[in-house]
Amino acid sequence: MRNFKFAIFDMDGTLLDSMPYWHNLGRDYLLSKGKIPQDNLIDIIRSMSMKESSKYFIDHYNIEGTVDTVINEINSFIENQYLYEIPCKPYVKEYLENLHSQDISMCIATATSKDLAISALKRNHILQYFSEIISCDETGVGKSQPDIYYLALKRIKASKAETVVFEDALYAIETSKKAGFYTIGVYDSSCSESLEKITSVCDEYIESFKNEIDRRK
């Protein structure tokens, strides 16, 4: 693995086993509003920030209220899962501890709201490893654009050359790579259909954090 001083971690699907909770969230929210979601809804909103997906619901499904109102309503659907249920993926804590012991500075770059991210990271006892928790809400765009990665560099006072990005989703991996970041793909079952493309795009690929711990010893 490439030597690095700074690491930008995606959270959902990379560190937390949360994608099953997100998979039907948009559909369930629209159904609660009496709307019939399109069959490919998950593919449409997958790369959006919360602000972007909330605006999409307002524009395309005539959901009443403001973007902030819709965000709050969606968050209420999944809040309990972040507060009480969503676990780390296997060996995540041990891997982060390994990086921390090597004085590698780490931050989170997530499409999830900052409050929910902090709650889940704290409950899983890994919040202390991260100097910054950055949400796409702060940039106004999702990870189809590289804004959050550049904001992360600024916050952690790092250069691109000494930083790596960890992501599980193909679209985010592609964004990171196109922006010139050294990008490490992380296996998640939600992205299994894109696995061949993911492994061809990223610089390195992690199938198991346990294997990476053993490699870095």
For the chain, the average pLDDT equals 92
pTM summary value: 0.85
pLDDT value for 191: 86
pLDDT value at 88 more than 90: yes
Contacts for 173-181 with beta carbons within 8 Å, 24 or more apart? 173/198, 173/201, 173/202, 174/201, 175/143, 175/144, 175/145, 175/146, 175/149, 176/146, 176/149, 177/201, 177/202, 177/203, 178/146, 179/146, 179/149, 179/150, 181/8, 181/146, 181/149
pLDDT, tens digit, for every residue of 136-176? 989 989 999 999 999 999 999 999 999 999 999 999 999 99
